[in-house]
Chain A
């Protein structure tokens, strides 16, 4: 999977005859740099440039607006619920898959990856079909005056759905790479299950866990499609940061939209810094 195995590999220096002539190397490196520059770096820069186009005052005004603050609040709340739950799930699932043989293991792994393959829009639709007013549980929920779709619980569920795989994938990659000899040793020395988890496994997986949490958090705060379907766009209630950016953009407030988007872009940069840090710390000595 592209997430687990992305640790930067040291380049292999090869003998002449099994590497390319210098001009070819230079050409290939330039092509890759131009490609990533125009395609990734320039758009990323454009977010900040557009956000600050009308000055810092206008920028602060946009991100301190009551609607923006309520969107920030909901985004933080959603992440605060979803990330710990999916982290616990990820550790449990990785523990089961890495340490035990059981029937249906491949099926379980496929199931964990499923939210990556399903369109976020379909994830949202699925929640509407189950929990919406006309959904399978609609009447039952209505009778108890519980609202899930077009309310905060729907936003949380949709976010949890799309972020299921991140922590599980990262932790599983570490556990499978390192094996369970240390856990077995702790067991023979008389450690209890929770002691093994706290003293052996968690220290072992901490960098993978941290990166998984960072990815899960970035996606949780930035999810758009699934949340957009279940949110109902109730002003001041079910609008997350990405939805708020879209609403501003649709109102032709480009500076406001990009100011809000720049907060999310900062989050992405923070995630990448976390990744670099994790890479450095977990590099084999």
Chain B
């Protein structure tokens, strides 16, 4: 890297960048490179075999479908909650806003215990769902529920600033031109917040895909039925099957990087469309 004087006038460039890069390299990059190297030095058949066994395929299927479904649930619920928080003034608004942050602040294991207690067949809410034939705990629905819980803040927090930044004149113009509220929402508001909704969606899916702590309690961890991919990695590790664990981890990492890339593209799209976000 060539040093140019035009990078900034303040002191401390070398020290701050140097320590940051060194720290990240040692703590994050080297271990992750360890996973990649382990995969690169393993035999291709072994990786293929470990990641396409019936149990592995079932866990990937559950992880991918449940996390996309959780992201979709978050998109709908998140848009609603963001809308209410940005547009209306009502008693308890600040409490609702704080509740949105609970899944960020609450340790995942606690979330898992709490959801299991509430939604198991004899729990506060589970006992009302059981007569309807809806079993949540120890079923794929429980997996989806836990994933939706941990992903809840993402859509709300990405949509909120964009929604708040919509110029009131645009909606006034729509009203003057004869649009009803539904039409204004469909033609003016929704297209504007769509990139933010999609960004929140991919963030929530990425989080759900890697989530472990809250799911192990509520899913029951039955192989082929409610076992998610991160859990199968742990199971392989407990059997000291490092090659098998690495193979599964590589598939999951690849999916995470794809989602990270998608998030970046979406954010750039939304910035290009709206200018820098006003938040």
Binding site for B on A (CB under 8 A): 2-9, 11-15, 17-20, 24-25, 28-29, 31-33, 35-44, 46-47, 50, 89, 92-93, 95-96, 99-104, 108, 110-123, 125-130, 134-136, 157, 160-161, 164, 180, 183-184, 187, 192-193, 196-197, 215, 218-219, 221-225, 228-229, 242-243, 245-246, 249, 254, 257-258, 261, 264-265, 267-269, 271-272, 275-276
Contacts and interface: CB of A to CB of B under 8 A. Distances in A.
Given A125-B237, A187-B9, A89 B19 contact: yes
**A interface: dominant SS:** helix
Q: Which 8 A-B pairs have the closest CB atoms?
A: A222-B107, A119-B210, A2-B157, A224-B213, A5-B279, A126-B31, A225-B212, A43-B114
Interface string B52-85: 0000000000000000000000000100110111
A128 B233 CA distance: 12
A96 B12 CA distance: 8
15 contacts: A4-B279, A8-B85, A8-B97, A9-B85, A18-B172, A31-B84, A46-B117, A100-B17, A119-B249, A129-B242, A130-B30, A218-B107, A225-B212, A261-B110, A268-B106
A275 B100 CA distance: 12
Contact of A43 (B7, B111, B181): B111
Contact of B80 (A32, A120, A122, A192): A32
Contacts of B117: 43, 46-47, 50, 254, 258
Given A42-B124, A268-B106, A101 B8 contact: yes
Nearest to A20: B181
Interface residues of B, number: 113
- Could you say which of B11, B77, B259 has the most chain A C-beta atoms within 10 Å of its C-beta? B11
Given A36-B81, A117-B210, 18 more contacts: A9-B279, A18-B175, A25-B88, A32-B85, A43-B111, A92-B20, A102-B1, A108-B17, A114-B28, A122-B233, A122-B252, A130-B30, A222-B109, A224-B213, A225-B213, A225-B230, A242-B109, A268-B107
A47 B107 contact: no
Contacts of A100: 7-8, 10, 13, 17
B96 interface: yes
Contacts of B158: 2
B222 interface: no
**B interface: dominant SS:** helix
B21 interface: yes
Interface of B: 1, 6-13, 15-17, 19-21, 23-24, 27-32, 34-35, 37-38, 77, 80-81, 83-90, 92-94, 96-111, 113-115, 117-118, 123-125, 148-149, 152-154, 156-158, 160-161, 164, 168, 171-172, 174-175, 181, 184, 200, 203, 206-207, 209-213, 216-217, 230-231, 233-234, 237, 240, 242, 245-246, 249, 252-253, 256-257, 259-260, 264, 277, 279
A125 B153 contact: no
B118 A129 contact: no
